[in-house]
Structure 1
Amino acid sequence: MRGNHSRAFAGLALALTATLGGAVLTAPTAAAAPSKAELRKQADRYMNMTYNDYHNARKTGPFNFKNNGCSVPGNSYAPFKVTFTRACNQHDFGYRNYGGNGLKLSKTRSTKNWLDRRFKQEMYRACKNSNWHKKSCETAADAYYLAVNTGGDKAFFG
């Protein structure tokens, strides 16, 4: 009986080989992981979005999208926390993926400064879209920016 099964299997294998033109069936291989340059390009796209576009974007890739909202530089600026939350979340993405605690896409002073400037731009954009008095809101944005620009080295560089 065993010989019959072996012959049947051999016949099936021969028939499949003939049908497939000698092609060898292999298990599909996993796609190659994106290069650091490709990841940087994807991360740059997220960082160059407006804070609302970032918030609404489909979050893909090996990136760290965790955020902790806004750390408030002093109680007088606490009311702006909600206004700036989306800009803060985008800034968190930058620190976690470019800096020393994540993918380390560009752990440089120049990149940290760029991320901080983008943060300020997006907070100013949030001020335009809010009900706050423009000057008061931008003063608060300046305080948040100053806090991350002067006190954010440990969070960025690790």
Structure 2
Amino acid sequence: MRRLTTSLATTAVAALVGVGLASTPAQAVPADKAQVLASWTQTSASSYNAWYSARLNQSAWSAYAFDWSTDYCSSSPDNPWGFPFKNACARHDFGYRNYKAMGTFSANKSRLDSAFYEDLKRVCNNYSGATKTACDSTAWTYYQAVKLLG
């Protein structure tokens, strides 16, 4: 009888726990998700820096359910001719994926593409002379590609 009582008690507790979990509402995404997303997808260096800092500490932003996935520069080189465009491509993916998920991509695409171009130009500002000219030309090409095909 003792085994039966223990077994029934264990089953009852498991059932109650299951009911409790089923009735607990899912955690809502913070109300300011759109504002945070907008702040990380502007054309300024400070916007890029804020996004990059958050990217390095994604767990702190987990409640927002952002899509941090990236394929970097897709089928184009991430570092063409040695120019490190990889992080600019990652931020561009971040903007595209999250605005698409929110259903507001069309209204934000132009700004996302402009932010991408500004990020690329900031990379190019680390060079001078013919190297900077080559970088700027490559940045323009990448920008035109996402503007037309993105």
* Number of equivalences: 117
**More helix, by proportion:** 2
- Equivalent residue number for residue 134 of structure 2: 136
Residue 126 of structure 1 corresponds to 123
Tell me how far 1:40 sits from its aligned partner: 1.1
Q: How many percent of aligned residue pairs carry the same amino acid? A: 30
The CA deviation string for residues 78-125 of structure 1, in whole angstroms up to 9 with x for no partner, is 325x511111000000000112xx232x222x4101100000001000
Partner of 1:16: none
User: Could you give the per-residue CA deviations for residues 10-55 of structure 1, whole angstroms, max 9, x where no partner exists?
Assistant: xxxxxxxxxxxxxxxxxx97654333xx211010122134545432
- So what's the TM-score if we normalise by structure 2? 0.65
The SS at the match of 2:121 is helix
Structure 2 counterpart of 1:116, which letter? Answer: D
Shift of the 143–31 alpha-carbon distance from structure 1 to 2, 3 Å rule, reads: same
Query: CA contact under 8 A between 2:29 and 2:65: conserved in structure 1?
Result: no
Return the index of the structure with the highest Cα Rg: 1
Partner of residue 103, structure 1: 102
Aligned to 2:71: 68
3-state SS in 2 of match to 1:56: helix
Distance (whole Å) between structure 2 residues aligned to residue 139 and residue 32 of structure 1: 44
Unaligned runs of 5+ in 2: 1-23
Partner of 1:86: 87
Q: Which residue in 1 is equivalent to 2:29?
A: 33
Gaps of 5+ in 1: 1-27, 153-158
Show CA shifts across 1:48-77 (max 9, x none): 34545432323312110001111355x8x8
Q: Which amino acid aligns with 1:70?
A: C
Aligned equivalents of 1:124 and 1:47: distance in 2? 16
- TM-superposed CA distance for 1:129, in Å, is 2.7
